[in-house]
Amino acid sequence: MLELNVVDLLLGVPAGCPPWRVADMANRARILPTWLSSAVARELPLNPGAHAYLERWRQRVAELHAIGEEFSRDQRIGLLKGARIATFLPPGLLRQSGDVDLVASDEAALWECAVALRDRYGAVVQSVSLMQGPHGNHVGVALKWPAAEPYLDKPMGADITTCAFAGDFAGVPIRVDPPRDDDLCGLFAVAEERFQRTFRVKDLLDLLVLAEALEQRLADRLTDVVCEHAARLALAPELRQLIRKADAWVPVSDAWIATLAALGPLAEREKALRQPDRPGMHGLLFGFPLDDIGSDELTVRLHPGADGQVATTPLGACLLTSSQTLGAESVESATRFARSLRATAC
């Protein structure tokens, strides 16, 4: 069972380090709210400002968990990770959550969910992703809305996709279906984060709590089950890196050391497959929002224009491009084109 000082261990806090310095380390590692919750549980003194900050984070996480629970009651919507992982943490320890990660069974379900978040919270589109492949397209939408303290705290958010894991669009393919086991789904959702950024302390903490939970349930089947899913989900290299990074600070069990060793050949095989000509690869188009005038259809409609494709969606039009940067002239031209599309439709 993990102890309340697990964040200190993952941060590599030296002996005798004063709490204010540990708080600074936690802040720079983007895990300050979790560390503050451990400080409260260990009865370390906090000032009123820190208590207020932590309380806002507790409310934030509770709201995101409630959103995930509500939408996942719809059989067309699944929750990738979050609330269940939090139940495995030591009592009193808060698992931070920046947004809610949802996977929709089809595009209509995705847009229904997105429209509901807009209507309820005033959520706005951060980006739309169109993933085009030989066996069909997938869509993702990122939404943001104000936090309880909008000028101090990061916005609330939701990421909704029609595929469980998007890969890297270079040599790792899209994987549509998540594992049916919630804990395995959470484990591989954490490993998938490596395609977005380097692993953080929060990811290592998630690994440690999921490792305990899975070992208790799977017992001597642990290595076989984890390796089977790692191979199917093309995530053996990332899971292996995640386990090794966590183990460097908080030693994992012998069963997970055995699993780490068994993942080695799978990871090498997966790396060899990661070539641009790998079958089934998707291309990615970024959708930059142009307006918030939604269409009547629960789908993305593409309209080729002079500066690229403009997509109309239930939450507004966006300019689709393979680049992550746009010039002002392209945005202005695409905005005029989107306006002309609506004029023509009328």
| Least reliable range by pLDDT among 62-71, 223-232, 296-305 | 296-305
Q: Kindly state the greatest CA–CA separation across the chain.
A: 70
Of the chain, the end-to-end C-alpha distance in Å amounts to 63
* Percentage of the residues of the chain whose pLDDT score is greater than 70: 99
Question: How high is the pLDDT of residue 342?
Answer: 77
Q: Are 165 and 177 in contact (CB under 8 A)?
A: no
Check pLDDT > 90 for residue 322. no
Q: How confident is the model at residue 344 (pLDDT cuts 50, 70, 90)?
A: confident
Cβ count within 10 A of residue 171: 17
Better-scored residue on pLDDT, 339 or 246: 246
Q: Are 210 and 186 in contact (CB under 8 A)?
A: yes
Residues present in the chain in total: 346
Q: How confident is the model at residue 333 (pLDDT cuts 50, 70, 90)?
A: confident
Mention every residue, 6+ apart, whose C-beta is less than 8 A from residue 73.
Answer: none
Q: How confident is the model at residue 341 (pLDDT cuts 50, 70, 90)?
A: confident
Q: Read off the pLDDT of each residue in 221-236 and give the average, rounded to a whole number.
A: 98
Rounded Cα–Cα distance for residues 12 and 8 (Å): 6
What kind and span of H or E run contains 236? Answer: helix 236-247
Exposure pattern of 205-240 as b/e (b: 16+ CB <10 Å)? bbbbbbbbbbbeebeeebbebbbebbbebbbbbbbb
pLDDT in tens, 28-57: 999 999 999 999 999 999 999 999 999 999
Exposure pattern of 271-305 as b/e (b: 16+ CB <10 Å)? eeeeeeeeeebbebbbbbbbeeebbeebebeebeb
Check pLDDT > 70 for residue 307. no
pLDDT in tens, 184-219: 999 999 999 999 999 999 999 999 999 999 999 999
Q: Are 275 and 171 in contact (CB under 8 A)?
A: yes
Q: Read off the pLDDT of each residue in 101-115 and give the average, rounded to a whole number.
A: 97
- Integer CA distances (angstroms), 269 to 102, 264, 275, 301, in order: 30, 9, 12, 39
Q: Read off the pLDDT of each residue in 72-80 and give the average, rounded to a whole number.
A: 94
- Integer CA distances (angstroms), 76 to 102, 132, 183, in order: 10, 21, 19
Place of tokens 């996480």: 61
138-145 β-sheet, strand order? 77-79, 100-104, 156-161, 138-145, 124-132, 283-289, 316-321, 308-313, 301-305
* Percentage of the residues of the chain whose pLDDT score is greater than 90: 87
Using a 10 angstrom Cβ sphere, with 0-12 exposed, 13-18 middle and 19 or more buried, the burial of residue 48 is exposed
Check pLDDT > 60 for residue 346. no
Exposure pattern of 124-142 as b/e (b: 16+ CB <10 Å)? bbbbbbbbebeeebbbbbb
pLDDT in tens, 78-98: 999 889 999 999 999 999 998
pLDDT in tens, 247-301: 999 999 999 999 999 999 999 999 999 998 899 899 999 999 999 999 999 999 9
Beta bridge pairs of residue 303: 310
What kind and span of H or E run contains 145? Answer: strand 138-145
